């Protein structure tokens, strides 16, 4: 827990009094506040969209069972984590519940440490969701971060909540992320949700400029400052005064310009190239990097004093492969968006298409996915997806069998959140055999993992 003064509430549902009392005691002793019920319908009647905790329910119960509880909770608020406790024989049903939106499931007899670890992660996720909503809804201009940084994976939920907190702090920030993860989107969210939202947002890609140009871009220049300077130029630092300056690929900035930038940020004063007067500025800097700036500073490839000036706060954007369950959501969104832009009919996207997308590594992350969605919408290609191999009259029988086996394994892994033993149980094959078939088909279980 991040705040030990608050004990997250747990809606505890089980029709067996002895088990219910045991769970209640365990939760009480570990900084949770259990609200026990023997009847699912009675428990749901106490729930609303502002519920600040989680739901822990047995799967098999008379009346409203675990599936009924899950469905009712999702209608109230789909972001309330629901954890289902199930017997070993019901694991396929439990994995079906996870696919339907349950946060996780625990097998009976529930190991207390496992149960508490899952509960803690779920409670923290719920706290972040509510904090994100509170801060997003407080934005008077109606900016909704969910419309810009999309996804339902816990890492994205956490990132949105962190953005909301850091935005309000109005401090220099470093954003880390691979190519195409959306670093400028995060920078814009920090600006829009912060006190400088009415000021300018100015972006500059440090990696796209040579050493001479970057000084002029940052600080501006006076007429005649150098050959070709036939008019005054206002630099990005001056343009961004009162707002936010986004420095993308900051790690590529030459050391000489790093020194000048540090001096400007320390004094909030600049001089244009060729100028003599000092110009006051008021700038928040958000920098983006693809490598660890602290490590780069230790290796003298980046100024340590500038690193500490910039990294008052830091945020890390997960890669697309780290949040595989978001791939389908994002792809459908961008295909729909592209079709509306071009006035096209939205093409059918089958489940096997989406499974193929989830199996890709996406080195270009969301940017690559957006491009694939655009091509798919325009029917220029199948965006790296395949049709159902059983409908193909071209593939040989062995190839069709291999393709079908891979499809079944991929689907099962996704249902089980990448948990290999549960997947093996679901498919009724030994764990070792599943590993061998995954190796044969080059399937990476991390693509399907729903855990942190």
pLDDT along the chain (452 residues), means of 10: 62 90 90 91 88 91 89 90 82 76 83 87 82 58 78 89 92 95 95 93 89 84 80 89 95 91 93 88 95 94 95 95 86 87 80 75 92 87 48 59 79 80 85 85 70 38
**Domains of the chain, with CATH numbers?**
9-133 (3.40.50.2300), 145-316 (3.40.50.300), 320-377 (1.10.8.60), 389-448 (1.10.10)
Distances (CA, A) of 131 to 63, 124, 220, 241, 339: 34, 11, 40, 29, 34
Write down the pLDDT at residue 200: 94
Round to whole Å and give the CA distance between 419 and 364.
26
Round to whole Å and give the CA distance between 378 and 339.
8
Distances (CA, A) of 316 to 288, 390, 452: 10, 41, 14
What is the token pair recorded at 443? 């399937």
Determine contact, residues 262/252, Cβ cutoff 8 Å: no
**pTM for the complete prediction?**
0.58
Write down the pLDDT at residue 424: 86
What is the token pair recorded at 307? 């690193």
Round to whole Å and give the CA distance between 338 and 332.
10
Determine contact, residues 134/111, Cβ cutoff 8 Å: no
What is the token pair recorded at 383? 């965006």
């Amino acid at each position: 827990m991040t705040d030990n003064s608050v004990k997250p509430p747990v809606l505890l549902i089980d029709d067996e009094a002895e088990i219910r009392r045991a769970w209640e005691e365990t939760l009480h002793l570990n900084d949770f506040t259990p609200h026990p019920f023997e009847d699912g319908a009675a428990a749901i009647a106490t729930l609303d969209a502002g519920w600040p905790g989680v739901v822990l329910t047995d799967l098999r119960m008379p009346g409203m069972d675990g599936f009924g509880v899950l469905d009712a909770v999702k209608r109230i608020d789909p972001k309330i984590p629901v954890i289902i406790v199930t017997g070993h024989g019901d694991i396929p049903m439990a994995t079906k519940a996870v696919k339907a939106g349950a946060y996780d499931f625990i097998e009976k007899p529930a190991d207390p440490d496992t149960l508490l670890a899952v509960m803690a992660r779920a409670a923290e996720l719920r706290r972040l969701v509510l904090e994100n909503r509170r801060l997003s809804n407080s934005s008077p201009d109606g900016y909704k971060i969910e419309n810009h940084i999309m996804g339902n994976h816990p890492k994205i939920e956490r990132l949105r909540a962190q953005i909301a907190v850091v935005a309000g702090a109005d401090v220099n920030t470093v954003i880390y992320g691979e190519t195409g993860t959306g670093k400028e989107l995060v920078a814009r969210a920090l600006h829009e949700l912060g006190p400088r939202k009415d000021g300018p947002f100015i972006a500059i890609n440090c990696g796209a400029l040579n050493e001479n140009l970057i000084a002029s871009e940052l600080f501006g220049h006076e007429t005649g400052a150098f050959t070709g300077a036939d008019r005054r130029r206002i630099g990005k630092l001056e343009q961004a005064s009162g707002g936010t300056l986004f420095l993308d690929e900051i790690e590529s900035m030459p050391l000489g310009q790093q020194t000048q930038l540090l001096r400007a940020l320390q004094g909030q004063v600049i001089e244009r190239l060729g100028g003599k007067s000092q110009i006051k500025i008021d700038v928040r800097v958000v920098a983006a990097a693809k490598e660890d700036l602290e490590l780069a500073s230790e290796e003298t490839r980046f100024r340590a004093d500038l690193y500490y000036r910039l990294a008052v706060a830091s945020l890390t954007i997960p890669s697309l492969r780290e949040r595989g369950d978001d791939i389908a959501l994002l792809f459908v969104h961008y295909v729909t968006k592209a079709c509306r832009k071009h006035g096209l009919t939205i093409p059918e996207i089958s489940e096997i298409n989406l499974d193929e997308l989830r199996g890709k590594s996406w080195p270009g992350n969301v940017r690559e996915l957006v491009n694939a969605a655009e091509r798919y919408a325009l029917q220029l290609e199948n965006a790296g997806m395949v049709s159902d191999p059983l409908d193909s009259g071209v593939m040989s029988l062995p190839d069709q069998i291999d393709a079908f086996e891979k499809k079944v394994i991929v689907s099962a892994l996704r249902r089980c959140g990448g948990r290999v033993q549960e997947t093996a149980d679901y498919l009724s094959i030994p764990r070792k055999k599943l590993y061998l078939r995954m190796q044969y088909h080059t399937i990476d279980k991390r693509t399907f993992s729903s855990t942190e």
